[in-house]
Structure 1
Amino acid sequence: MIDDLAARAFDVMSFQLMNVDERAAMTSGPYKESSLFGQLVPLIDEAILCYYRGYYTAALATLFIVCEQYLRQLPGWQPGMPDPSFAALRAAVRKHPDSESRHEAEMILSAIYARYNAQIPPQFFFNRHGLLHGLRGPKDVDRMNCVRMLLLFDVLCSAEGLGRGLVYTEEFYQRHSAYEACVRLGKEKQLMLRN
Protein backbone atom coordinates (compact mmCIF):
# COMPACT_ATOMS: atom_id res chain seq x y z
CA MET A 1 0.00 0.00 0.00
CA ILE A 2 2.88 2.39 0.81
CA ASP A 3 4.39 1.71 -2.61
CA ASP A 4 1.07 2.41 -4.33
CA LEU A 5 0.50 5.65 -2.40
CA ALA A 6 4.07 6.79 -3.08
CA ALA A 7 3.63 6.13 -6.81
CA ARG A 8 0.39 8.16 -6.83
CA ALA A 9 2.05 11.03 -4.96
CA PHE A 10 4.99 10.85 -7.35
CA ASP A 11 2.69 11.15 -10.36
CA VAL A 12 1.27 14.38 -8.93
CA MET A 13 4.52 15.94 -7.64
CA SER A 14 7.12 14.88 -10.19
CA PHE A 15 5.94 17.35 -12.82
CA GLN A 16 6.90 20.33 -10.67
CA LEU A 17 10.37 18.97 -10.01
CA MET A 18 11.06 17.48 -13.44
CA ASN A 19 9.49 19.95 -15.84
CA VAL A 20 11.96 21.36 -18.33
CA ASP A 21 11.79 24.90 -16.93
CA GLU A 22 12.69 23.75 -13.40
CA ARG A 23 15.52 21.43 -14.43
CA ALA A 24 17.06 23.96 -16.84
CA ALA A 25 16.81 26.66 -14.16
CA MET A 26 18.40 24.52 -11.42
CA THR A 27 21.18 23.26 -13.68
CA SER A 28 21.95 26.71 -15.14
CA GLY A 29 21.61 28.42 -11.75
CA PRO A 30 22.36 26.78 -8.38
CA TYR A 31 24.12 23.67 -9.75
CA LYS A 32 26.38 25.80 -11.94
CA GLU A 33 27.05 28.27 -9.06
CA SER A 34 27.89 25.50 -6.58
CA SER A 35 31.59 25.09 -5.91
CA LEU A 36 30.97 21.33 -5.76
CA PHE A 37 28.27 20.70 -8.37
CA GLY A 38 29.67 23.30 -10.81
CA GLN A 39 32.22 20.99 -12.40
CA LEU A 40 29.70 18.12 -12.42
CA VAL A 41 27.12 19.96 -14.56
CA PRO A 42 28.02 18.00 -17.74
CA LEU A 43 27.22 14.73 -15.92
CA ILE A 44 24.03 16.23 -14.51
CA ASP A 45 23.02 17.26 -18.03
CA GLU A 46 23.76 13.74 -19.25
CA ALA A 47 21.58 12.23 -16.52
CA ILE A 48 18.71 14.65 -17.15
CA LEU A 49 18.84 14.00 -20.89
CA CYS A 50 18.76 10.24 -20.20
CA TYR A 51 15.78 10.79 -17.89
CA TYR A 52 13.85 12.74 -20.51
CA ARG A 53 14.63 10.07 -23.12
CA GLY A 54 13.27 7.40 -20.78
CA TYR A 55 16.59 5.76 -19.91
CA TYR A 56 15.89 5.86 -16.20
CA THR A 57 18.41 3.25 -15.06
CA ALA A 58 21.23 4.96 -16.99
CA ALA A 59 20.14 8.31 -15.56
CA LEU A 60 20.07 6.93 -12.01
CA ALA A 61 23.52 5.37 -12.31
CA THR A 62 24.91 8.70 -13.55
CA LEU A 63 23.20 10.56 -10.71
CA PHE A 64 24.81 8.20 -8.18
CA ILE A 65 28.21 9.04 -9.73
CA VAL A 66 27.49 12.77 -9.39
CA CYS A 67 26.37 12.29 -5.79
CA GLU A 68 29.47 10.36 -4.84
CA GLN A 69 31.82 12.84 -6.50
CA TYR A 70 30.06 15.66 -4.67
CA LEU A 71 30.39 13.86 -1.32
CA ARG A 72 34.06 13.06 -1.92
CA GLN A 73 34.81 16.71 -2.68
CA LEU A 74 32.98 18.05 0.37
CA PRO A 75 35.66 17.03 2.92
CA GLY A 76 38.45 17.71 0.40
CA TRP A 77 39.20 14.18 -0.84
CA GLN A 78 41.84 14.06 -3.62
CA PRO A 79 42.95 11.22 -5.91
CA GLY A 80 45.67 9.24 -4.19
CA MET A 81 44.06 9.59 -0.77
CA PRO A 82 42.44 6.48 0.75
CA ASP A 83 38.87 5.97 -0.44
CA PRO A 84 36.33 7.19 2.10
CA SER A 85 34.05 4.63 3.70
CA PHE A 86 30.33 4.77 3.03
CA ALA A 87 29.88 6.08 6.58
CA ALA A 88 32.32 8.91 5.77
CA LEU A 89 30.44 9.70 2.56
CA ARG A 90 27.15 9.84 4.48
CA ALA A 91 28.75 12.09 7.10
CA ALA A 92 30.39 14.42 4.55
CA VAL A 93 27.22 16.50 4.30
CA ARG A 94 27.85 17.58 7.91
CA LYS A 95 30.48 19.93 6.50
CA HIS A 96 27.56 22.18 5.54
CA PRO A 97 26.17 24.53 8.19
CA ASP A 98 23.50 23.10 10.45
CA SER A 99 20.15 23.59 8.71
CA GLU A 100 16.92 21.84 7.85
CA SER A 101 18.28 21.23 4.33
CA ARG A 102 21.39 19.54 5.69
CA HIS A 103 19.30 17.28 7.93
CA GLU A 104 17.03 16.38 5.03
CA ALA A 105 20.09 15.54 2.91
CA GLU A 106 21.44 13.35 5.72
CA MET A 107 18.20 11.34 5.81
CA ILE A 108 18.23 10.80 2.05
CA LEU A 109 21.91 9.80 2.11
CA SER A 110 21.19 7.26 4.86
CA ALA A 111 18.83 5.48 2.46
CA ILE A 112 21.27 5.69 -0.45
CA TYR A 113 24.20 4.24 1.52
CA ALA A 114 22.34 1.80 3.75
CA ARG A 115 23.45 -1.82 3.57
CA TYR A 116 21.33 -3.49 0.90
CA ASN A 117 19.73 -6.76 1.94
CA ALA A 118 18.11 -8.57 -0.99
CA GLN A 119 16.00 -10.65 1.43
CA ILE A 120 14.47 -7.48 2.91
CA PRO A 121 14.92 -4.80 0.22
CA PRO A 122 14.52 -1.19 1.30
CA GLN A 123 11.43 0.71 0.26
CA PHE A 124 11.53 1.60 -3.46
CA PHE A 125 15.00 -0.02 -3.92
CA PHE A 126 16.48 3.47 -3.38
CA ASN A 127 19.98 2.25 -2.72
CA ARG A 128 23.31 2.65 -4.51
CA HIS A 129 24.48 -0.85 -3.57
CA GLY A 130 21.30 -2.47 -4.83
CA LEU A 131 21.43 -0.71 -8.20
CA LEU A 132 25.12 -1.40 -8.82
CA HIS A 133 24.68 -5.09 -7.96
CA GLY A 134 21.74 -5.44 -10.31
CA LEU A 135 19.13 -5.78 -7.57
CA ARG A 136 16.39 -3.52 -8.86
CA GLY A 137 12.71 -3.06 -8.56
CA PRO A 138 10.21 -2.44 -11.36
CA LYS A 139 11.14 -0.04 -14.17
CA ASP A 140 9.12 2.89 -12.78
CA VAL A 141 11.05 2.72 -9.50
CA ASP A 142 14.21 3.88 -11.31
CA ARG A 143 12.21 6.84 -12.63
CA MET A 144 11.08 7.73 -9.12
CA ASN A 145 14.61 7.37 -7.78
CA CYS A 146 15.99 9.74 -10.41
CA VAL A 147 13.58 12.37 -9.15
CA ARG A 148 14.64 11.63 -5.57
CA MET A 149 18.31 12.11 -6.52
CA LEU A 150 17.63 15.43 -8.22
CA LEU A 151 15.63 16.52 -5.18
CA LEU A 152 18.69 15.60 -3.08
CA PHE A 153 20.85 17.81 -5.32
CA ASP A 154 18.37 20.67 -4.88
CA VAL A 155 18.48 20.17 -1.10
CA LEU A 156 22.29 20.10 -1.13
CA CYS A 157 22.33 23.40 -3.03
CA SER A 158 20.02 24.82 -0.39
CA ALA A 159 22.38 23.52 2.34
CA GLU A 160 25.17 25.41 0.54
CA GLY A 161 23.05 28.57 0.75
CA LEU A 162 22.26 28.71 -2.97
CA GLY A 163 18.78 29.97 -3.80
CA ARG A 164 16.48 29.03 -6.64
CA GLY A 165 16.55 32.43 -8.34
CA LEU A 166 16.45 32.24 -12.11
CA VAL A 167 18.42 34.42 -14.47
CA TYR A 168 17.47 33.95 -18.11
CA THR A 169 20.88 33.57 -19.69
CA GLU A 170 21.83 32.21 -23.09
CA GLU A 171 23.02 29.05 -21.30
CA PHE A 172 19.57 28.61 -19.73
CA TYR A 173 17.85 28.91 -23.13
CA GLN A 174 20.29 26.46 -24.77
CA ARG A 175 19.86 23.93 -21.98
CA HIS A 176 16.08 24.40 -21.98
CA SER A 177 15.95 23.80 -25.73
CA ALA A 178 18.09 20.65 -25.46
CA TYR A 179 16.03 19.26 -22.59
CA GLU A 180 12.75 20.07 -24.33
CA ALA A 181 13.80 18.35 -27.55
CA CYS A 182 14.88 15.22 -25.71
CA VAL A 183 11.72 13.13 -25.45
CA ARG A 184 11.02 9.48 -26.19
CA LEU A 185 9.57 9.09 -29.66
CA GLY A 186 8.50 6.47 -32.16
CA LYS A 187 10.33 3.16 -32.30
CA GLU A 188 12.61 4.16 -29.44
CA LYS A 189 9.60 4.61 -27.17
CA GLN A 190 8.14 1.27 -28.26
CA LEU A 191 11.42 -0.48 -27.47
CA MET A 192 11.69 1.13 -24.02
CA LEU A 193 8.09 0.22 -23.11
CA ARG A 194 8.55 -3.49 -23.79
CA ASN A 195 8.55 -5.75 -20.73
Structure 2
Amino acid sequence: METEELSNSDIEAQAFAFYAAGYDTSASTLCFMLYHLALEPEIQERLRNEIDVYLRTHGDQIDLETLNELPYLDQVLNETLRMYPSDDTLLRKAQNDYKCPGTNVEVSRGQIVLIPVLGIHYDEKYYPNPEIFNPENFARENLIGRHPCSFLPFGLGPRNCIGIRFARAQVRACVIKLLSKFRVEACKDTVRSFCFDPYRLNIAPDKKLYVNFHPRMDR
Protein backbone atom coordinates (compact mmCIF):
# COMPACT_ATOMS: atom_id res chain seq x y z
CA MET A 1 0.00 0.00 0.00
CA GLU A 2 1.37 3.40 -0.99
CA THR A 3 1.61 6.00 1.74
CA GLU A 4 2.07 9.72 1.51
CA GLU A 5 3.56 11.83 4.27
CA LEU A 6 1.77 15.06 5.07
CA SER A 7 3.89 18.17 5.39
CA ASN A 8 3.21 20.88 7.95
CA SER A 9 1.78 23.00 5.13
CA ASP A 10 -0.63 20.18 4.18
CA ILE A 11 -1.81 19.86 7.77
CA GLU A 12 -2.24 23.63 8.13
CA ALA A 13 -4.23 23.78 4.88
CA GLN A 14 -6.53 20.95 6.00
CA ALA A 15 -7.09 22.58 9.39
CA PHE A 16 -7.97 25.86 7.66
CA ALA A 17 -10.38 24.00 5.35
CA PHE A 18 -12.18 22.51 8.37
CA TYR A 19 -12.82 25.95 9.82
CA ALA A 20 -13.63 27.63 6.51
CA ALA A 21 -16.02 24.92 5.30
CA GLY A 22 -17.63 24.64 8.72
CA TYR A 23 -18.26 28.33 9.36
CA ASP A 24 -21.19 29.13 7.08
CA THR A 25 -22.79 25.69 7.44
CA SER A 26 -22.66 25.72 11.25
CA ALA A 27 -23.78 29.35 11.43
CA SER A 28 -26.79 28.57 9.20
CA THR A 29 -27.73 25.54 11.29
CA LEU A 30 -27.55 27.61 14.48
CA CYS A 31 -29.62 30.36 12.86
CA PHE A 32 -32.39 27.98 11.81
CA MET A 33 -32.40 26.27 15.22
CA LEU A 34 -32.75 29.51 17.17
CA TYR A 35 -35.47 30.65 14.77
CA HIS A 36 -37.57 27.58 15.51
CA LEU A 37 -36.87 27.71 19.23
CA ALA A 38 -38.20 31.27 19.20
CA LEU A 39 -41.38 30.11 17.46
CA GLU A 40 -41.79 27.01 19.67
CA PRO A 41 -41.44 28.12 23.33
CA GLU A 42 -42.46 24.70 24.69
CA ILE A 43 -39.61 23.03 22.80
CA GLN A 44 -37.23 25.76 23.98
CA GLU A 45 -38.33 25.34 27.59
CA ARG A 46 -37.79 21.59 27.54
CA LEU A 47 -34.37 22.06 25.97
CA ARG A 48 -33.42 24.78 28.47
CA ASN A 49 -34.37 22.54 31.39
CA GLU A 50 -32.16 19.76 30.04
CA ILE A 51 -29.28 22.21 29.60
CA ASP A 52 -29.70 23.59 33.14
CA VAL A 53 -29.54 20.08 34.62
CA TYR A 54 -26.46 19.30 32.53
CA LEU A 55 -24.62 22.45 33.63
CA ARG A 56 -25.49 21.96 37.31
CA THR A 57 -24.24 18.39 37.12
CA HIS A 58 -20.94 19.40 35.52
CA GLY A 59 -20.19 22.63 37.35
CA ASP A 60 -21.14 24.86 34.40
CA GLN A 61 -18.45 23.21 32.29
CA ILE A 62 -19.03 21.87 28.76
CA ASP A 63 -17.01 18.79 27.91
CA LEU A 64 -16.94 16.85 24.65
CA GLU A 65 -17.14 13.56 26.52
CA THR A 66 -20.38 14.50 28.30
CA LEU A 67 -22.35 16.05 25.44
CA ASN A 68 -24.09 12.71 24.92
CA GLU A 69 -25.95 13.41 28.17
CA LEU A 70 -28.16 15.87 26.26
CA PRO A 71 -30.44 13.63 24.16
CA TYR A 72 -33.10 16.27 23.58
CA LEU A 73 -30.50 18.72 22.31
CA ASP A 74 -29.48 16.04 19.82
CA GLN A 75 -33.12 15.65 18.77
CA VAL A 76 -33.50 19.41 18.23
CA LEU A 77 -30.24 19.58 16.28
CA ASN A 78 -31.14 16.58 14.13
CA GLU A 79 -34.57 18.01 13.35
CA THR A 80 -32.92 21.28 12.32
CA LEU A 81 -30.54 19.37 10.05
CA ARG A 82 -33.45 17.39 8.62
CA MET A 83 -35.36 20.49 7.60
CA TYR A 84 -32.28 22.50 6.61
CA PRO A 85 -29.40 20.26 5.51
CA SER A 86 -26.46 22.38 4.40
CA ASP A 87 -26.28 20.52 1.08
CA ASP A 88 -29.62 19.69 -0.47
CA THR A 89 -28.04 17.29 -2.98
CA LEU A 90 -25.17 14.80 -2.78
CA LEU A 91 -23.13 13.61 -5.74
CA ARG A 92 -21.69 10.09 -5.94
CA LYS A 93 -19.98 8.11 -8.69
CA ALA A 94 -21.31 4.58 -9.26
CA GLN A 95 -18.64 1.94 -8.73
CA ASN A 96 -20.58 -0.77 -10.58
CA ASP A 97 -23.54 -1.18 -12.93
CA TYR A 98 -26.76 -1.29 -10.94
CA LYS A 99 -30.45 -1.67 -11.68
CA CYS A 100 -32.75 0.05 -9.19
CA PRO A 101 -35.12 -2.57 -7.74
CA GLY A 102 -38.71 -2.38 -8.95
CA THR A 103 -37.88 0.09 -11.74
CA ASN A 104 -36.40 0.17 -15.24
CA VAL A 105 -33.75 2.64 -14.11
CA GLU A 106 -30.20 1.44 -14.69
CA VAL A 107 -27.07 3.15 -13.38
CA SER A 108 -23.86 2.56 -15.28
CA ARG A 109 -20.46 2.24 -13.70
CA GLY A 110 -18.79 5.65 -13.54
CA GLN A 111 -22.08 7.52 -13.83
CA ILE A 112 -22.64 10.47 -11.49
CA VAL A 113 -25.71 9.97 -9.30
CA LEU A 114 -27.51 12.90 -7.65
CA ILE A 115 -29.03 12.06 -4.27
CA PRO A 116 -31.88 14.48 -3.35
CA VAL A 117 -31.19 14.98 0.36
CA LEU A 118 -33.91 17.59 0.81
CA GLY A 119 -36.47 15.41 -0.95
CA ILE A 120 -35.62 12.44 1.28
CA HIS A 121 -35.77 14.58 4.43
CA TYR A 122 -39.26 15.78 3.52
CA ASP A 123 -40.59 12.36 2.52
CA GLU A 124 -43.72 11.56 4.55
CA LYS A 125 -42.80 7.90 4.41
CA TYR A 126 -40.04 8.64 6.92
CA TYR A 127 -41.21 11.86 8.59
CA PRO A 128 -44.94 12.51 9.15
CA ASN A 129 -45.90 16.16 8.58
CA PRO A 130 -42.38 17.00 7.33
CA GLU A 131 -43.09 20.75 7.11
CA ILE A 132 -43.53 20.92 10.91
CA PHE A 133 -40.51 21.31 13.20
CA ASN A 134 -40.82 18.27 15.46
CA PRO A 135 -37.79 16.98 17.45
CA GLU A 136 -39.82 13.87 18.30
CA ASN A 137 -38.92 12.65 14.82
CA PHE A 138 -35.60 11.71 16.39
CA ALA A 139 -36.81 10.28 19.68
CA ARG A 140 -35.30 6.85 20.22
CA GLU A 141 -38.58 5.01 19.74
CA ASN A 142 -39.18 6.73 16.40
CA LEU A 143 -35.77 5.75 15.03
CA ILE A 144 -36.54 2.04 15.23
CA GLY A 145 -36.87 0.57 11.76
CA ARG A 146 -36.17 3.84 9.93
CA HIS A 147 -33.85 3.43 6.97
CA PRO A 148 -30.35 4.79 7.79
CA CYS A 149 -30.26 6.64 4.46
CA SER A 150 -33.36 8.65 5.37
CA PHE A 151 -31.15 11.17 7.23
CA LEU A 152 -28.20 12.50 5.24
CA PRO A 153 -27.15 15.99 6.43
CA PHE A 154 -23.51 14.85 6.47
CA GLY A 155 -23.76 12.13 3.86
CA LEU A 156 -23.20 8.51 4.84
CA GLY A 157 -20.53 5.84 4.62
CA PRO A 158 -16.82 6.29 3.85
CA ARG A 159 -17.45 9.53 1.93
CA ASN A 160 -19.43 11.29 4.65
CA CYS A 161 -18.44 14.74 5.92
CA ILE A 162 -15.05 14.61 7.65
CA GLY A 163 -16.07 17.48 9.95
CA ILE A 164 -19.25 15.91 11.33
CA ARG A 165 -18.04 15.59 14.94
CA PHE A 166 -16.56 19.08 14.97
CA ALA A 167 -19.72 20.65 13.50
CA ARG A 168 -22.08 18.91 15.90
CA ALA A 169 -19.94 19.72 18.95
CA GLN A 170 -19.58 23.36 17.88
CA VAL A 171 -23.32 23.94 17.42
CA ARG A 172 -24.26 22.12 20.63
CA ALA A 173 -21.74 24.06 22.70
CA CYS A 174 -23.01 27.35 21.30
CA VAL A 175 -26.66 26.49 22.02
CA ILE A 176 -25.80 25.43 25.57
CA LYS A 177 -24.04 28.73 26.23
CA LEU A 178 -26.82 30.81 24.68
CA LEU A 179 -29.78 29.14 26.35
CA SER A 180 -28.07 29.09 29.72
CA LYS A 181 -28.00 32.91 29.62
CA PHE A 182 -30.84 33.98 27.32
CA ARG A 183 -34.39 33.26 26.24
CA VAL A 184 -35.10 33.45 22.53
CA GLU A 185 -38.43 34.94 21.50
CA ALA A 186 -40.21 35.84 18.31
CA CYS A 187 -40.73 39.56 17.65
CA LYS A 188 -42.86 41.66 15.33
CA ASP A 189 -40.30 41.21 12.56
CA THR A 190 -40.07 37.43 12.86
CA VAL A 191 -41.39 35.86 9.65
CA ARG A 192 -43.56 32.75 9.91
CA SER A 193 -42.60 31.33 6.54
CA PHE A 194 -39.89 31.79 3.94
CA CYS A 195 -38.38 30.21 0.85
CA PHE A 196 -34.79 29.20 0.21
CA ASP A 197 -32.47 31.67 -1.45
CA PRO A 198 -31.72 30.24 -4.94
CA TYR A 199 -28.50 32.25 -5.22
CA ARG A 200 -26.77 30.77 -2.17
CA LEU A 201 -24.48 27.75 -2.42
CA ASN A 202 -25.77 26.30 0.84
CA ILE A 203 -29.38 26.31 2.03
CA ALA A 204 -30.26 29.76 3.36
CA PRO A 205 -33.50 31.74 3.82
CA ASP A 206 -34.51 34.36 1.28
CA LYS A 207 -35.48 36.67 4.15
CA LYS A 208 -33.73 37.82 7.31
CA LEU A 209 -34.72 35.79 10.38
CA TYR A 210 -35.20 38.19 13.29
CA VAL A 211 -35.57 37.02 16.90
CA ASN A 212 -35.19 38.70 20.29
CA PHE A 213 -32.75 37.66 23.01
CA HIS A 214 -33.77 38.33 26.60
CA PRO A 215 -31.33 37.79 29.53
CA ARG A 216 -32.52 35.06 31.86
CA MET A 217 -33.31 36.32 35.36
CA ASP A 218 -33.66 32.84 36.88
CA ARG A 219 -29.97 31.94 36.64
> What is the TM-score when the length of structure 2 is the normalising length?
0.31
Point out the structure with the larger strand share: 2
Compare CA radii of gyration and give the structure with the larger one: 2
Point out the structure with the larger helix share: 1
> What is the TM-score when the length of structure 1 is the normalising length?
0.33
